[in-house]
Amino acid sequence: MKTSDFILIFICIPATLSTNDNLPNCKDALEDCLRKEVAWTRCYEDRITRCTVKARMPIPNFYRWSVNSSNQAEESTDSGHRVHIPAHALQRSKRNVSHSTVHITLAVLNSSLFRLGPVRGFRSGEVLGQSVLAVRVGDHGVSDLDQPVRIAFRNTNVTERGTCVFWKDSENNNGEGDWSSEGCITSLIHGEFVCSCNHLSFFAVLVNSKLSVDPVNAANLGYISYIGSSFTVVFTTATLVMYICLRKGRSEQSIGIHVQLTGALLFLHLSYLLSEWWVWHEADGAEGRVCLAFGLILHWALLSTFTWLAIEGFHLYMLLVRIFNIYISKYLLKLSLVGWGIPTATVVACGFSGVYGRHSFYMKGDNNGSSTDICWISSATDSPGVVVSYVTVSGYLGLVFLFNTAMLGVVVVKLWGKRGKGRMWKDWATVLGLSCVLGVPWGLAFCTYGPLSLPGLYLFSIFNCFQGVFLFLWFLVLSRKGRPERSSVKDLSSQKMMETNLN
């Protein structure tokens, strides 16, 4: 062999090695694509089809294997996903390449990586297990398949309803997008969601067993919430200003309790509007610390409202049942410590458990699964936020609703006995006013399930979003008519209650 041949060999071998070394590593594919300002999903799809697995240790949640294009392929992941790819899809991916084998790549990603675009208030639903499956066959995209690809997602809660979706990038190529169910059919088979899709992409299942509203009604409910909360902020502020300006000396304890309930409502609706505004304007900020803070404040304001509603019921109990010997030293101060202290201690404990973040209320449409987002208790199905939501919101509201409804029933019975059945209709304003003060309309939250879910949602939104307006009218009536009523109820030992609570 000539010397020139040895030189040629030594030149070719390093050149070959350097070419292999230039191939991207699959382990770094996701991190490299996330650094890009453009759509990282497109970068990642291209990278995982061309990268190499250089490390001997397997890459977590990353799978690649080769199959014969004339046969169908099926594979399972450690996360419980199963993928069935027909031979038609394998052959379509070759694009007239002579090789008989095709590479199949699967990757399990976290749903928090997907940036949602500002889509008129509707965002992604609750992703099942926060798990998104990327499926790639060959080096080219595959779409419009005659035989669909089937992806099975393990369902941990058989009562949940789900919709198969894929990730659809926005047209401006800025890394944002939304979920779409176009080209996918959802089936629930043996406790698994099976997605039959005519293309390959990033797949997930949107689930939520609590709410199923079409986009039109969802938009209407959103407008009611925004308008009602805005009115409540204005009227609760007016109520507080009136209380401060018109108060002379020591005011009635009942009025003081009403005012503190008004303050809790002001915090609740103001924090709700600010939370919605933040999620609307900061598409990529819904996972940050600001959203966490808004979620904590909103939870605190809601618990404060529930607690002061319960205190209203307790105070009414003291006036109705314990008519005599109801003096309690520093009564209003002790109630204030309970009304503001219990919510504060609760949210501090919840904050340490990391339950606050973005929450998606799923709206089920005809073609696409979408929802509205808010900074609230995290909607992840496997997080402690589920327990926190059921205990501190649903459970607490249920107890307050039962107690206050019972106290409203006592009021109706006493009015019935005092006025007689024939004159009860004259007290309808009193009963309706007390219903608002005691938060009885909050019980409509338990009517948002089943066949009455849509009417229940509308009634719940109207009554509770405008609760601040109703409280303003109630406070106005108490302020104007408190004195004249004193002469008309002298025959009752519960005179104080009739003046301040029953008007």
Res 117: pLDDT: 64
Amino acid at 363: M
pLDDT truncated to tens, each residue of the chain (503 aa)? 444 443 333 334 343 333 444 566 788 888 888 877 677 888 888 888 878 776 566 788 888 888 887 777 888 888 778 898 888 888 877 765 666 788 888 888 888 888 776 543 334 457 887 889 999 887 777 888 888 899 998 765 544 567 888 888 877 766 678 888 888 888 877 778 889 898 888 998 887 544 456 667 777 888 999 999 999 999 999 999 988 887 654 557 888 898 999 999 999 999 999 888 887 766 444 456 788 888 899 999 999 999 999 999 999 888 877 665 566 788 889 999 999 999 999 999 998 888 887 776 555 444 444 446 678 887 554 457 778 888 999 999 999 999 999 999 888 888 777 665 555 556 777 788 888 889 999 998 888 765 567 788 889 999 999 999 988 988 887 776 554 444 333 333 333 433 434 43
Per the CB < 8 A criterion, the answer to whether 492 and 498 are in contact is yes
Q: What is the pTM of this model?
A: 0.61
CA 42, distance to chain mean position in Å, is: 28
Res 64: pLDDT: 84
**Which residues, 6 or more positions from 287, have their beta carbon under 8 angstroms from its beta carbon?**
112, 357, 358
Res 344: pLDDT: 96
In the chain, what are the domain boundaries? 23-207, 215-500
Comparing CA positions, the residue from 301, 136, 149 lying closest to residue 229 is 301
What is the Cα–Cα distance from 238 to 258, expressed in whole angstroms? 13
**Quick one: which H or E segment has residue 74?**
strand 73-76
Res 487: pLDDT: 35
Same fold, 23-207 and 215-500: no
Antiparallel, parallel or unpaired: β 356-364 and 369-377: antiparallel
Q: Could you tell me the CA-to-CA distances from 372 to 211, 299, 501 in Å, in that order?
A: 11, 18, 39
**Which residues, 6 or more positions from 375, have their beta carbon under 8 angstroms from its beta carbon?**
275, 278, 279, 286, 290, 291, 292, 294, 295, 298, 356, 357, 358, 359
**Quick one: which H or E segment has residue 197?**
strand 192-197
**Which residues, 6 or more positions from 434, have their beta carbon under 8 angstroms from its beta carbon?**
316, 408, 411, 501, 502
**Domain 23-207 = CATH 2.60.220.50:** yes
Q: At what angle do helices 253-281 and 215-246 cross, to 10 degrees?
A: 140
Q: Which fold has domain 215-500?
A: Rhopdopsin 7-helix transmembrane proteins (1.20.1070)
